[in-house]
């Protein structure tokens, strides 16, 4: 058993944080420390240029958090959200030119006739970070639905200036294969919400032109590979079958025709694990860990982890570190087990530390630092 594997022997609610003393006793190269508490089901984290953080809370608040853990009042100008089930205020991402434009993007469950669906707002953060200005919805998932689950949704600015958005299938799995809907898709937009001319389904009758790839279930994490610039995503399976994919233009990723999971009843889903014309995941988990945020680590604080892919987990209450050989997963290590946290998002800070938020009514912002 490795020193890191020995961490899994720590269980119980009493082990809320991995303290320096405990980390040293376990011979671990890291410790987990609190930055802020009192966040209501935080969902996403983004770093401002001055190292303060924006954190979304699913009930509909956007907060600014300092490195010392001070929480701002709710930022004004956040749109009304449908805070039911898994819905609410979701991702927050800065535009690549934020330092000069102050532009950012929010994804959220937007109230619609008969229910809600995922939308994306573009807005400008005021100079004092107290309010959003010039907010405009640039994308609306169609159609709306009364279902309370599977909204997605991560936003990733691509190197060519477009935006990728990962969308859930709203609990209506067959619609992942239906190109007349945005359910269970990765979409690709220009920053103003218009459709890039080279999207793969442009001009197809009864096909949503925003679609980039399809056959997804519920995308919960997404990031660009730091060397190739390719989009990587991670999505929830049902009972097993969580997947990492590298969505490519026009490709079908199989849900619900093929999957490595089963229904919650134990029944089989679809036809099995393979079908011609449908893509295989580059990695999957069975049983499920309920993956969340995704991070390619490029920092200096943990040089031995540089190049690793980190993924948080909700049901698994852990963080997975994956080593890569090209597009192949070469190894997996499970960290921070036994602390009772549902890790919702994971991000690299400008200081090279790893920051995490926990999904709870009294959610935490945590920092992983070297011992």
Residue 2: is its pLDDT beyond 60? no
The answer to whether residue 116 sits within a structural domain is no
Confidence (pLDDT) at 20: 73
Give 35's DSSP letter. E
Confidence (pLDDT) at 122: 98
Rounded CA-CA distance 323/143 in Å is 39
Q: How many domains does the chain fold into?
A: 1
> Structural domain of residue 349, as residue ranges?
1-40+289-371
Give 206's DSSP letter. T
Comparing C-alpha atoms, which of 312, 323, 307 is closest to residue 368? 312
- Return the exposure string of 73-98: e unless at least 16 CB atoms fall within 10 Å of the residue's CB, then b: ebbebbbebbbeebbbbbbbbbbeeb
Q: Give the 3-state secondary structure of residue 323.
A: strand
Q: What's the rounded mean pLDDT across residues 176-190?
A: 98
> Model confidence at 24, in pLDDT bands (50, 70, 90)?
low
Rounded CA-CA distance 332/270 in Å is 28
Q: How distant is the alpha carbon of residue 144 from its chain centre?
A: 22
> Model confidence at 25, in pLDDT bands (50, 70, 90)?
low
Residue 8: is its pLDDT beyond 60? no
Which residues are paired to 46 by β-bridges? 54
Per-residue pLDDT tens digits for 237-270? 999 999 999 999 999 999 999 999 999 999 999 9
The answer to whether residue 167 sits within a structural domain is no
Going by their DSSP bridges, the two strands 242-245 and 132-140 should be labelled as: unpaired
Rounded CA-CA distance 309/300 in Å is 15
Confidence (pLDDT) at 369: 96
Per-residue pLDDT tens digits for 61-86? 999 999 999 999 999 999 999 999 99
The length of the chain, given as a count of residues:
371
> Model confidence at 15, in pLDDT bands (50, 70, 90)?
very low
The answer to whether residue 60 sits within a structural domain is no
The answer to whether residue 262 sits within a structural domain is no
> Model confidence at 1, in pLDDT bands (50, 70, 90)?
very low
Residue 225: is its pLDDT beyond 70? yes
Residue 16: is its pLDDT beyond 90? no
Confidence (pLDDT) at 114: 81
Percentage of the chain surpassing pLDDT 90? 91
Per-residue pLDDT tens digits for 278-304? 999 999 999 999 999 999 999 999 999
Contacts of 295 (CB under 8 A, 6+ apart): 223, 309, 310, 311, 346, 347, 348, 354
Rounded CA-CA distance 291/313 in Å is 4
Rounded CA-CA distance 188/137 in Å is 15
Active site residues per annotation: 150
Residue 167: is its pLDDT beyond 70? yes
pTM recorded for the entire structure: 0.94
Residue 13: is its pLDDT beyond 50? no
3-state helix, strand, coil in the chain (%, to 5): 5, 40, 55
Q: What is the DSSP string of 164-182?
A: EEE---TT-GGGGG-TTS-
The answer to whether residue 14 sits within a structural domain is yes
Per-residue pLDDT tens digits for 45-64? 999 999 999 999 999 999 99
Comparing C-alpha atoms, which of 175, 173, 184, 180 is closest to residue 213? 184
> Model confidence at 22, in pLDDT bands (50, 70, 90)?
low
């Amino acid at each position: 058993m490795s020193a890191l594997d020995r961490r899994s022997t720590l269980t119980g609610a009493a082990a809320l944080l991995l303290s320096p003393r405990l980390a040293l006793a376990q011979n671990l190269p890291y410790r987990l420390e609190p930055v802020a508490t009192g966040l209501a089901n935080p969902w996403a984290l983004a770093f401002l240029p001055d190292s303060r953080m924006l954190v979304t809370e699913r009930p509909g608040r956007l907060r600014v958090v300092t490195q010392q853990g001070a929480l701002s009042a709710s930022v004004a100008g956040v749109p009304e959200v449908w805070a039911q089930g898994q819905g609410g205020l979701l991702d927050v991402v800065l535009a690549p030119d934020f330092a000069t434009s102050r532009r950012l993007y929010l994804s959220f469950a937007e109230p619609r006739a008969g229910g809600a669906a995922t939308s994306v707002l573009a807005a400008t953060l005021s100079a004092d970070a107290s309010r959003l200005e010039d907010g405009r919805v640039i994308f609306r998932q169609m159609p709306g639905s009364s279902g309370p689950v599977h909204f997605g949704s991560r936003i990733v600015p691509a190197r060519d200036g477009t935006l990728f958005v990962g969308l859930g299938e709203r609990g209506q799995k067959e619609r992942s294969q239906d190109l007349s809907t945005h359910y269970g898709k990765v979409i690709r937009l220009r920053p103003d919400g218009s459709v890039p001319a080279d999207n793969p389904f442009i001009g197809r009758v009864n096909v949503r032109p925003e679609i980039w790839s399809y056959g997804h279930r519920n995308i919960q994490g997404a990031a660009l590979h730091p060397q190739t610039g390719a989009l990587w995503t991670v999505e929830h399976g049902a009972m097993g079958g969580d997947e990492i994919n590298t969505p490519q233009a026009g490709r079908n990723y199989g849900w619900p025709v093929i999957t490595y999971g089963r229904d919650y009843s134990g029944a089989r889903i679809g036809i099995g694990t393979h079908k011609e014309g449908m893509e295989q995941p580059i990695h999957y988990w069975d049983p499920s860990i309920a993956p969340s945020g995704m991070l390619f680590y490029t920092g200096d604080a943990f040089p031995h982890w540089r190049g690793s892919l980190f993924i948080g987990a909700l049901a698994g209450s852990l963080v997975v570190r994956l080593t890569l050989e090209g597009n192949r997963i070469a190894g997996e290590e499970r960290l921070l087990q036994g602390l009772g946290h549902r890790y919702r998002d994971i991000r690299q800070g400008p200081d090279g530390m790893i920051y995490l938020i926990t999904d709870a009514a009294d959610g935490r912002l945590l920092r992983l630092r070297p011992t």
